[in-house]
Amino acid sequence: MKLQRAALTMLIVFLSFYLLYLGQALLLPLVIAGAVAYLINILAHTICRLRIGRVSLPRPIAMIVAIAVILASLSLVIQLITVNIASVIKVAPLYQQNLEGLIYKGYELFGVEEAPNIREIFAQINLSSYLQDIGGTVRSLVSRTGIIILYLIFLLLEQRTFTAKMHGLVRDSDRLEEVLGLMEKIRSDIRSYIGIKVLTSAATALLSYLVLNLVGVDFASFWAVLIFFLNFIPTIGSIIATAFPSVLALVQFDTFGPFVITASVLTGLQFCIGSLLEPRLMGNRLNLSPIVILLSLGLWGSIWGIPGMFLCVPITVIMVIIFSYFPETRPAAVLLSGTGELSVGPRRGDIAAKKQVASD
């Protein structure tokens, strides 16, 4: 019986991911709209909690302000990325040529007269083509802006009727109170995770921009935006966010000083915020296993491309948070976690106490 259940579960998981792959054109804009809607709700919740004396903004006005701020920010980010990618593509051959020169100098420094197969390596590594792929992804998302906004409007309108639907689904008042309380706890944990992650990523991006701007690295605003999004991917994202601007500083300047400053300061920022500040704020909410992160990157990247790679870790963390609240799925949350310790969800003592009360 257990074997049949396990086989059925694996079949359902396989079919689910296959349907996600087939329905990319329909589902990816919906997921992006859901993420934007969640950001709007988090910002509106924060605005409602702000008080001047005893006065605070009503929820409808806070929602309007939050929608305006989020949409304006996204529009600015998309425009910034599009413009900067076009500029980077133009100068990418020059940067690649400078990088080839640095590698040749390195071989000469160690007494190697001819760099082995260096031409073949750079023939395969075309920086312009990779940047064009990223630009194509951004343009594809921009072309779907209409459907994303349409989804966003319906999601924001739909959430107003959610409580009424729950009243229609669950007739028992005690059971309804328990379900609504559980969903509020899950929503609170997800809100805390996303809020903290956005805050720490924004702080890292802002400080990185200041450093890159002071050093004089080209396209500092573009790298800051990229660092913001890459910080949603633990470990791997931090490495990439540090490596790209550092390599640019290496090929842009004639001396190694800017490269050393950029690499060391960005690494220090990533370590201080990502390894010291964020775990203290986050607790075990982002307690993912490194192998789970790698598998998530590969899986969601193959399903939804570059957007899937940025969305994979938040989706996985939200799954862990939700799984941790149910005894049947809590083992899956433990397996997905890095240490097996979860700071969200019911504890064993809580579950035992509820069972005891139910038996009494």
Give the helix, strand, coil percentages of the chain, each rounded to 5.
80, 0, 15
pLDDT at 11: 86
DSSP letter for each residue of 255-310: SSHHHHHHHHHHHHHHHIIIIIIHHHHHTTTT-B-HHHHHHHHHHHHHHHHHHHHH
Least Cα distance to 274 among 265, 282, 263 occurs for 282
Tell me the C-alpha distance between 194 and 336, whole Å. Answer: 18
Sequence-separated (6 or more) residues with CB below 8 Å from residue 31: 311
pTM (2 d.p.): 0.74
What are the distances in angstroms from CA 216 to CA 98, 143, 209, 252?
17, 33, 10, 10
pLDDT at 53: 75
What are the distances in angstroms from CA 92 to CA 84, 300, 306?
12, 28, 20
pLDDT at 349: 44
Residue whose entry in the numeric block shows the structure tokens 């948070």: 321
Q: What is the mean pLDDT of each run of 10 residues along the chain (360 residues)?
A: 76 85 84 87 86 80 90 84 73 70 67 54 52 62 78 85 78 81 82 85 92 89 87 81 86 82 92 82 67 84 82 83 82 78 57 44
Write the DSSP symbol of residue 54.
T
Number of neighbours of residue 256 by Cβ within 10 angstroms? 12
Structure tokens at 227: 């660092």
Least Cα distance to 67 among 33, 46, 36, 34 occurs for 36
Tell me the C-alpha distance between 234 and 255, whole Å. Answer: 31
Where are any strands of DSSP class E within 1-160?
A: none
pLDDT at 204: 92
Least Cα distance to 202 among 277, 300, 118, 115 occurs for 277
Locate the domains of the chain by residue range. Answer: 23-161
Structure tokens at 24: 């990319």
pLDDT at 129: 58
pLDDT at 210: 94
